[in-house]
Structure 1
Amino acid sequence: DGMGSVRLPAAMCGLVGLKPSAELLAEGGWFGMSAHGPLATTVADTAVLLSVLAADPSLASVPTPSPARIGTSTTVPLLRTPVPKELVAAVSTAAGHLASAGHTLTESAPRYPATMVLGMTARWLAGPAVQAREFDFSRLQRRTRAHVRAGQLVQRAGLIRERTRENWVARAAEFFADHDVLMTPTLSHWPVKAGRWHEKRWLTNVFPSTRLAGFTGQWNFAGYPAITVPVGRSVVSGLPTSVQLVTRPGGESLLLGLAAQLETANPWPRTARK
C-alpha cells in the first residue's frame, strides 16, 4: 500500500483492508510511503493476518474500543473534486452505527498543507524508480518504464524533501490532539471497468488511478494507520461502498475494534453475488 493499494482494492471488492503504521513493519519502501497490509473478508481475519505480518500475537485480539472522538469528512483534501453521493452516504451510515455504539462524531478534517500533494506524489514517483534498479529496465512494461523515468527526474530535481512531510505530520498531529479517529469515504470516485490496463500508456493509467485515491495517499505520506471497512452496496451499480478510518501511529487495535463494531452492526456478504 503506497498510495492506497491495500485499501482501494478492498473497497472495490467489499473487503476489509488495513494499512499499518509506517513503524509497525519497518519496511521503509517508497521513502517511507509503502507498507504491506492484510485484506480479508472479516475483521477477525484481518487482525490475525496483521499479527503474523508484525510477528506480534497480541494484535490478533480485537478489543472493544472505549468511546472515541471521531471526526468525519467527505471532502477530497485540497482538490475538492466531487465525490459520488452513494460514497458520501456510506460515511453517514457508518457514523450512525458508531454513534449507536457510544462514540462521539463531528464533522471535522485536518488542515491539509498545500505542499502535501507535491510531497506524496514525489515519493510515489521516485519510490518505484529506486526499486527498478534491481531489474532489467528493457524488460519492464511500457507504463512502468515511463513511471521510472519520471521518478528519476524527481530525484534529480531534489523533490524528496523531508520538511514537506514534517509539515504535514505536524498538521495531522494537531487534528489528532482533539480527535481519536478520522472517518472518510475510502474511494473518491467509482472504480473503472476492468481491462488490459498494463498494455496502455502510463498517463492513461495514472488519471483513473489517482482519481480514486483522493482520501488515501496522504496517510501513507504521514505514516498513519488506516483501515477500509465495507458499509453497503450501490443501489444503482451493486458495487460495494465503504469508509476509511484513520488514527495515530500505533492505533491499529483501535481501528480493528471500530471496524468490528461496524461489522456487528451491519454484517456484509463474505462471498460475491452469483
Structure 2
Amino acid sequence: MELHEHTALELHQLLQRGEVSPVEVAAHYLARIERLDPELGAFATVTPERALERAAAVAAEVPRPAPLWGMPLGDKDLHPRAGVPTAFGSRAFSGFVPDASDETVQAVDDAGAVSLGKTATPEFGLPSYTEALVGRPTRNPWDPTLGAGGSSGGAAAAVASGMLPFAPGSDGGGSIRIPAAACGLVGVKPSRGRVPSGSGLASLAGLGVVGAIGRTVADAALLLDGLIAPTGYPARHRSSVRAPGDDGPYLGAAIRGEGRFQIGVLGDSPWDDAYDIVVAPEARSALDRAVAVLDAGRHGIELIPPAPEPGYAPAFRTIWQAGAASIPVEGERLALLEPLTQWLLERGRALPARQLAESLSWLAEYERRVIARFAPYDAVLSPALAMTPRPVGWYDADDGERNFAQQVQYTPFTSFVNVSGLPAVTVPVEFTADGAPMGVQLIGRPGGEATLFSIAAHLERRLRREPRHPPVW
C-alpha cells in the first residue's frame, strides 16, 4: 500500500511508530502533487524545498507527541505564511510575499505539521466555487469537468485526489462544507469560538471560522484536535467567554461512534422566501438514505416543521457585501478584481451605516431563534448541497446579482449555520449515476462537536463507506 492510500489517522500512526519519517512522507506527497496538480489545480503555490527542510526540522527538533507531528498539509491561500507568495486568490495581490504568518499557520506549525504549499481559493474566499482568474480553475477529482466547490476548493481537491492526507480550511458561509461535500469528503465547521486561531469572534457577524477537511470522520477529527490544541489539551482559548468548554480530543468520539441521539430532519432553508430553492433528486436521495441508516441504528428521527424567515436574505446579503467593502484594494487596482468581487465591494462601500446595523441586529436575533428551534434535538440533519456538483464555468462570471443567486440555489443549507455559530459536519453518503459524490450535513448544538463526530462516525460505519480516491488518480 502506498502512503497516500492510508487514511490520515493510519499515516499518523506510522509516523508515531517510526515506520516512516516526515521527510519520506513529504517527498511522497510532493511527488503526487507534481504529477496530479497540473490537471486539477488544487494548489496556488507548491514549496518543495521549504517542505523538505521543514520535514527534516520536525524530525530532528519537534517532540513526537505534537498532535500533527510530521503530517503534511497545505495552507489555504487566504492564510499568509511568511516568505511564501500569498495572493488571496486575487490578481490584485499576485506576487505578494508576506513577512509574517497568520495564527492558523502558526497553529499547524506548533502542532508539528509540514506545509507543502498554498491550496487554491477563489478571490478573497467570497464565492462557493474555486475558479479564480489569478490561476487555474480547481477541478473535482471525481470528474474534472465539475468544480471542486469553494472556497476551500483547493484543499478539498488535494485531499480527494491523495495529494494531501487532510487539509485545514476556513468557512464563512459554507466554505469547508461545500467543497467537502462536492468532493466526497468529511468537512467540519466548528462552533464559533472553538478554534482559537480562527474563532470567528473577530469577523463581521461572527461568520468565519477555521476547520478541517478529511477523507474520514476520524481524519477530520485528528486535524481539528491539532488546530484547537496544537500543544495538547486542554486548549487555551483567548476568547473563553464564547468558547465552549473543552471536551476534546474529538478523535475518540470519531473512532467510537457511540450513543443514541435525537435527530431532527430539516427540509426548509432561510433562503426559501427570496429564491427559487429546489432540492435535486440526488440530494434528496442522499438525505433519505442517511435518515434510513440512522433510523435503523435506533436514533430518534423527527421532521422539523418549516419556519419561514423572510428577513434572512436581505440581512445576509448586506453582511456579505459589507464584508467585501473592507478588501484593501483602491484606485486603479480595483480593475484587477473579478466582476463578482467588484459588485460586492461597490455595494458594500455604498451601504448606509443604519442598514448594516439593522442587519447585524436582525441576524443576532435570528441566531437565538435557530438555537431555540433546534434545542429539542442532539443534532439536525439536512442536505449538504441542494444540487449535484456544478460544472466548471457554470456560474455567471459577469453578473454579480445572478452569480449570488446561483450560489444560494446551490448551497442554501450552509450560511445560516455560520450566522448561528453552530458546529456542522458534512458526511459523504452515495454517488450519483454519473459518479458524483452526494452527502448530508449534521448540525450540532453550540459546542456540540463531540456529538456530531459520534453520529457522523456511526453513519460512516453503517454506510460501510471505505475511504478511497477516484480510480483515475
Instruction: Say yes or no: TM over 0.5.
Output: yes
Choose 180-189 or 50-59, whichever is displaced more.
Answer: 50-59
Choose 144-153 or 70-79, whichever is displaced more.
Answer: 70-79
| Structure 1: distance between partners of 2:441 and 2:432 | 17
* Cα pair 1:123 1:160 within 8 Å, conserved: no
Decide which of 231, 234, 238 is 2:429's aligned counterpart.
Answer: 231
* Cα pair 2:396 2:402 within 8 Å, conserved: no
Q: Does 1:191 align with 2:409?
A: no
Within 5 Å, give how 1:204-215 maps onto structure 2: 205-215=403-413
* Cα pair 1:112 1:171 within 8 Å, conserved: no
Q: Which runs of 5+ in 1 are unaligned?
A: none
| Structure 2: distance between partners of 1:168 and 1:233 | 34
* Cα pair 2:192 2:206 within 8 Å, conserved: yes
Other-structure match for 1:22: 192
| Structure 2: distance between partners of 1:54 and 1:178 | 28
Other-structure match for 2:450: 253
* Cα pair 2:397 2:403 within 8 Å, conserved: no
Asked which structure has the greater CA Rg, the reply is: 2
| Structure 1: distance between partners of 2:313 and 2:397 | 27
| Structure 1: distance between partners of 2:263 and 2:277 | 23
| Structure 1: distance between partners of 2:180 and 2:365 | 30
Q: Which runs of 5+ in 2 are unaligned?
A: 1-170, 234-247
CA-CA distance at 1:234 after TM superposition: 0.9
* Cα pair 1:70 1:106 within 8 Å, conserved: yes
Within 5 Å, give how 1:1-274 maps onto structure 2: 1-25=171-195, 26-27=199-200, 28-55=202-229, 57=233, 58-63=248-253, 64-79=257-272, 81-109=277-305, 111-130=307-326, 132-133=327-328, 137-154=334-351, 156=353, 158-161=355-358, 162-195=360-393, 200-203=398-401, 205-235=403-433, 237-266=434-463, 267-274=465-472
- TM-score (norm. length: structure 2): 0.53
Q: Evaluate the alpha carbon distance shift between residue 110 and residue 22 of structure 1 in structure 2; reply closer, same or farther with a 3 A threshold.
A: farther
| Structure 2: distance between partners of 1:86 and 1:197 | 20
CA-CA distance at 1:175 after TM superposition: 1.8
- TM-score (norm. length: structure 1): 0.89
| Structure 2: distance between partners of 1:78 and 1:247 | 20
CA-CA distance at 1:215 after TM superposition: 0.8
* Cα pair 2:270 2:313 within 8 Å, conserved: no
| Structure 1: distance between partners of 2:228 and 2:207 | 17
Flag the structure with more relative contact order, 1 or 2, with Cα contacts below 8 A and sequence separation at least 6: 1
- Structure with the largest fraction of helix: 1
Choose 259-268 or 39-48, whichever is displaced more.
Answer: 259-268
* Cα pair 2:278 2:409 within 8 Å, conserved: no
CA-CA distance at 1:232 after TM superposition: 0.3
Q: Evaluate the alpha carbon distance shift between residue 268 and residue 168 of structure 1 in structure 2; reply closer, same or farther with a 3 A threshold.
A: farther
